[in-house]
Structure 1
Amino acid sequence: MDDWTTSHDRVLAQRNAGGWMFLLEATRDLRTTGAVAPSGRALARRLTDPLHGHGPRPLDVLEAGAGTGSVTRTLVSRLSPGSNLDIVEANPRFAARLRSLVGARPHPDDGTVRVSVHHALVEQFDTDRRYDAIVSGLPFANFTPGQVETIMERYLQLLRPGGTLTYFAYRGTRLARTLTAGRSDTHRHREVEETLAGYQRRYATGCWTVWRNLPPAKVWQLSRPAHCPARTPARPVTAGAPR
């Protein structure tokens, strides 16, 4: 029996289980999980909207930091038969849950979306494939500027020319850190935002706020232009923290 099911009761059961698992992982380590609840459906739809711009052809798609699969479900439902979806998840318990979901056949009558789960840090993910779209659920606000730069450069390396990258940041995080965190963490967060702003100035093609999410989130869409090689990060970096 498929885990990716259209049965209303089973979908609700899966989402409820995923929500409790996400909360448990946030309790273990909020810094690397990045939130206390999975992404909502409105946020998942906005993150995956760029898929429509590629037309009905099969696509190669990468999802990084998939968590319990709340965005993954929307991705699979929007991909054409014959598409490939690689999921990279650093949290071993999330990765195990995702593997239990990938036997689905969202298009049982006319083809299958091939889904593979990789337990790894995305900046260390070894593949020769290049992607039409990348959807990132990584909590950049919790990383160092060097980690963010390494991940963003890896994304650009993995994108085909004309490919799209979508990622999100929760609104109000700078104010929250200013009020609750120490000076060094506030400074780190500001530097992360400045690092991301540099990529937004060079590559952004859209930005939206999803108010119907807990908490509300800002979604950025970036596109790699043709003949635009990825840069080598200028600063020494360490491996990014798992989600």
Structure 2
Amino acid sequence: MDHRTPSPQIPRNAARQAAESWTFLREAARDLRTTGAVAPSSRALARTLTDPVATCGSRPLSVLEAGAGTGAVTRALLSRLPRGSHLDVVEANPRFTERLRRLVDHHPAPVVRHVRAEVHQAYVEELDTGRRYDVIVSGLPLTNFTPDLVDRVMARYLDLLHPGGTLTYFAYLGTRRARTLLAPRDEARRHAAVDQVVGAYQRRYATGRWTVFANLPPAHVWELRRPTVEAAAPSHPLPLLPGAEQ
């Protein structure tokens, strides 16, 4: 049984989370292309998104985080990356980028475990670091994008992965149903088209899906894996995995 006393940092963490939540709301009002969430990822969601890092063992990893926001998942990655790993963090919002650079500069992982972390202000579909990745973690608000952009982003993720590499991303529960009921018809059609694009990638590459209720809102986490040997595209649609609706 764990008898450790509670950390005195809890009030500070609570204040940080409150400040980050307000920042998300403000930035979402400014630009839904770069900020599609209403709150930072919870610890439970961040841990589930970064679990592939833990399953890779102790070898150094090359990891990409896209759409890092205020850094909730970045902190989880820095805490879990093995010694000698490299982390590229890409974020299009310049105000978030500055926060992320401060986070990376003051996190102990780069010093203690020789983790190299770089923050890039860019759109992921335009990112060119010259590297491929063992793990990609995406926090991008795909349901806010056009279907063509979603296809470009997902294709770019698969291209950036090493064969056998893993992509994780999340989708809020119930967004399709809510937009069908409440959104204008054109917006509901756009969302349905995005679902079709993402569903095609899920059918071909998905290896797992988990539901995280301890998040605002609750979310599905999807895991996709680039095959070690690329197969030809199927000539007929594959059955949709259970729970593919976003």
Instruction: Normalising by structure 2, report the TM-score.
Output: 0.86
- Going from structure 1 to structure 2, the CA distance change for 1:202 and 1:212 (only over 3 Å counts) comes to same
SS at match of 2:222: strand
Tell me what 1:113 maps to.
115
Larger RCO (CA under 8 A, 6+ residues apart): 1
Residues 51-62 of structure 1 mapped to structure 2, 5 A cutoff = 51-62=53-64
Q: Note if contact 1:106-1:112 (Cα within 8 Å) is conserved in structure 2.
A: no
- Going from structure 1 to structure 2, the CA distance change for 1:123 and 1:28 (only over 3 Å counts) comes to same
Tell me what 1:213 maps to.
215
Q: Note if contact 2:64-2:135 (Cα within 8 Å) is conserved in structure 1.
A: yes
- Going from structure 1 to structure 2, the CA distance change for 1:108 and 1:84 (only over 3 Å counts) comes to closer
Q: Note if contact 1:65-1:138 (Cα within 8 Å) is conserved in structure 2.
A: yes
Tell me what 1:224 maps to.
226
Tell me what 1:198 maps to.
200
Larger Rg: 2
Tell me what 1:15 maps to.
17
Tell me what 1:150 maps to.
152
> Percent identity between the aligned chains?
62
Aligned-pair RMSD on alpha carbons? 2.0
2:101 corresponds, among 79, 99, 102, to 99
SS at match of 2:103: coil
Q: Note if contact 1:32-1:142 (Cα within 8 Å) is conserved in structure 2.
A: no
In structure 1, distance between residues paired with 2:232 and 2:170: 21
Give the gaps of 5 or more residues in structure 2. Answer: 1-7, 234-246
Give the gaps of 5 or more residues in structure 1. Answer: 1-5, 232-243
Deviation, 1:9, is: 5.1
1:4-56 CA-to-partner distances (Å, cap 9, x unmatched) read xx955544443333222112112323464112111111110110111122111
Tell me what 2:134 maps to.
132
Deviation, 1:230, is: 11
In structure 2, distance between residues paired with 1:55 and 1:223: 17
Tell me what 2:125 maps to.
123
SS at match of 1:112: coil
2:69 aligned partner, one-letter code: G
In structure 2, distance between residues paired with 1:61 and 1:176: 34
Tell me what 1:3 maps to.
none
In structure 1, distance between residues paired with 2:156 and 2:111: 36
Tell me what 2:37 maps to.
35
In structure 2, distance between residues paired with 1:229 and 1:119: 34
